[in-house]
Amino acid sequence: MDSQQEFVLRKVEERDVRFIRLWFTDIQGYLKSVMMSPSELEGAFEEGVGFDGSSVEGFARLSEADTILRPDPSTFQLMPFDRDQPEIRAARMFCDISMPDGQPSLSDPRQVLRRQVQSAAADGFDCMISPEIEFFLLKLPEGRLDQALPTDNGGYFDQASQNEVPKFRREAMVALESMGIATEFSHHETAPGQQEIDLRHADALTMADNIMTFRYVVKQVATANGVRASFMPKPFKAFAGSAMHSHMSLFEGEANAFHDPDDEFSLSVTAKQFIAGILRHAPEISAVTNQWVNSYKRIMFGNEAPTAATWGVSNRSALVRVPTYRLTKEESRRVEVRSIDAGCNPYLTYAVLLGAGLKGIREEYELEDPAEDNISLLSRRERRAMGYVDLPRSLDHALKKFESSELMAEILGEHVYEYFLRAKWDEWHRYQEQITSWELSRLLDY
């Protein structure tokens, strides 16, 4: 037993933890949990915890049902919501998923990201990520989802004058910090009821774990305040959607591989090749970074959502933005990917972005000149005339790009790639089957 496992066992005893929640995610990014008694924890570290993988969408066929959860002791944290009820005090750990023979499960999103992290490490890089996570706080009259309303009347950076949960962001940030998730800033976003909380940078795998925890914590704090938190990309026609802009950088030891003090924008050749990799493969990546039918309502009709595979310096309409804050500060040099929405699976999203960026570095992709226009105001014809490649405009368009991508199959692995395609085509077909109120109001009397 290693020192981290011994630390967890000691902490569980010292804090009188009564339940251990073993967390993992399915391929679409839904959080799953198995509850365990502390008496079973030592055995779980040694042998793992068996569960029926065929019961989780995309994990295993019935004939391959036996699957094993292996708790990662480095992710141990006490849950923040039951401190006043010691009889139900709980902690959580994220798990890696393996098969009975000890091989990593091909269905585990955490393993998909780990492979890319290891691939980057083989080239001498560590990937650091800092996301800005947007979401809505909603009230549901009589519990009806179709009548959801924002909890306040605020706008960008506003101190909302009518706010049903005025202390929400503070409560959420305190809960996150108690679980070891460092936050940086928070503010009201563009739309009524829309919030943003930014997380301090961490390595890619830790950050994906943090985002899954973030969603859980935010929803729990919202429920405790009698409202609902939603990470749906675009819940309201009239308001902007919710993004998860992510700042990415590669480090070689202590040195930021994206920084070059002699460049006009302090961007190294490595950074430019990384950006070029993301831009060249952006259309095939979109099905992962924007995985829902609703995601494309934000892309097509959102505010400042990128519509083309472009990059720019301080240009918030570009897919990849290079911030100009503190240009001379080495550790601050990063690129911001703005296409990602709040409903993505962070493990798969960061895996495909990192994989595409690494491909750009390895194959020395050339980066075109930065876009200076407001891309969102250009017509499709104008974008094409300027040489910009449009991002997919709907899930079916994105899936066709994804389906023809050897890179996506390579990064995700055959099992995740094939399941993702099947699940998302099914979602698209179910969406197409719907007869909407818009159609009925216009055609029923025809």
- CA distance readout (Å), 399 to 66, 180, 269, 421: 31, 37, 31, 7
pLDDT band at residue 425 using 50, 70 and 90 as cut-offs: very high
- CA distance readout (Å), 315 to 305, 312, 318, 336, 375: 11, 5, 6, 10, 9
Q: Which two tokens stand for residue 262?
A: 């002699």
- Is 83 or 426 the better-scoring residue by pLDDT? 426
The percent of residues above 70 in pLDDT, for the chain, comes to 95
Token pair 């570009």 in the structure block, residue: 318
pLDDT of residue 50: 86
Q: What is the pLDDT of residues 214-252, one digit of tens each?
A: 999 999 999 999 999 999 999 999 999 999 999 999 999
pLDDT of residue 194: 94
pLDDT of residue 63: 37
71-98 average pLDDT score: 90
Spatial contact of 266 and 329, defined as CB atoms under 8 Å apart = no
Q: What structural domains does the chain harbor? A: 8-106 (3.10.20.70), 115-437 (3.30.590.10)
Q: Which residues contact 330 (CB under 8 A, 6 or more apart)?
A: 255, 256, 259, 261
pLDDT of residue 160: 61
287-311 average pLDDT score: 92
Q: What is the pLDDT of residues 256-294, one digit of tens each?
A: 999 999 998 999 999 999 999 999 999 999 999 999 999
161-171 average pLDDT score: 83
160-176 average pLDDT score: 86
Residue 328 clears pLDDT 90, i.e. is over it: no
Write down the pTM of the prediction: 0.94
Q: Which stretches within 225-294 are classed as H helix?
A: 269-280, 282-289
What is the rounded average pLDDT for all residues in the chain?
92
3-state SS string over 113-154? Answer: HHHHHHHHHHCCCEEEEEEEEEEEEEECHHHCHHHCEECECC
pLDDT band at residue 408 using 50, 70 and 90 as cut-offs: very high
Q: What is the pLDDT of residues 102-113, one digit of tens each?
A: 899 889 999 999
Residue 302 clears pLDDT 70, i.e. is over it: no
Q: Which stretches within 281-328 are classed as H helix?
A: 282-289, 295-301
84-95 average pLDDT score: 89
Q: How, if at all, do strands 90-98 and 19-25 pair?
A: parallel
pLDDT of residue 164: 80
pLDDT band at residue 379 using 50, 70 and 90 as cut-offs: confident
Alpha-carbon gap, residue 411 to 416, rounded angstroms: 10
Length of the chain: 446
* DSSP character at residue 322: E
pLDDT of residue 57: 64
